Structure 1
């Protein structure tokens, strides 16, 4: 028999949008319907590696081997650090250059006089 707590939790999980939904909506609103469809397709196919790992028993193998699981975690951390490094040294909005000085144009004219 289903409990009330389970049904309430399931309702919250179903109603709350996930990161894929938020990303797809943001792309669709910002760049149009076609880009939104490509974003939805990309989010859908992004699930395939995890699904294949579960189908072939790799999840059970990593669950039983602490060393293998630790190696996968370390590889994931290294990849995320690499992505962060690339983002910081790209030249976009989050880019960082040693010659940059702080911008003061966000200050109001009255605050700039102080």
Structure 2
């Protein structure tokens, strides 16, 4: 099992990931604003189904990779740190746009809403990279089955993502209006998130863990 302190740090990383604008957030906000809360929630369930695909693929792949190539941890550690630095830059770079600037979307049926949410997440490179580069920093053979540890982390990530995205879907219109009236808070949020992500990247890059 993943130690509690590592699980708490991972949950923090998962929270930062879900709060960092990406295809999932932009789609859910746009859908909720254009078609209402119910449509946003249905789309969210599709997104969660996509998370299950990423989680199972990462759990199986990481288990095989760690057993076959012990040095893979070091490679993925630096890849994870670089990815977090990339997200930090995306948050603070000049001209970064808010996900609350909704796109116009056509009205879709519940089945299509679920499918579009699912496909948006399954094809989301941000999620794939997160699972493949961040997961290895929190699993270790000395804590038991790598597969079960990955599932444990995946469930934690999905729980965090569902909770935050549900709140966003249910309040997207109000949040969009509030941020439009208070644009300075978008800037503050971006810079705080950027610095926290950069700090987490440094922490992961400097960590030493024996694998194998």
Q: TM-score, normalised by structure 2?
A: 0.29
Larger radius of gyration: 1
More helix, by proportion: 2
Q: TM-score, normalised by structure 1?
A: 0.46
Q: Which has the higher contact order (CA 8 A, sep 6+)?
A: 2
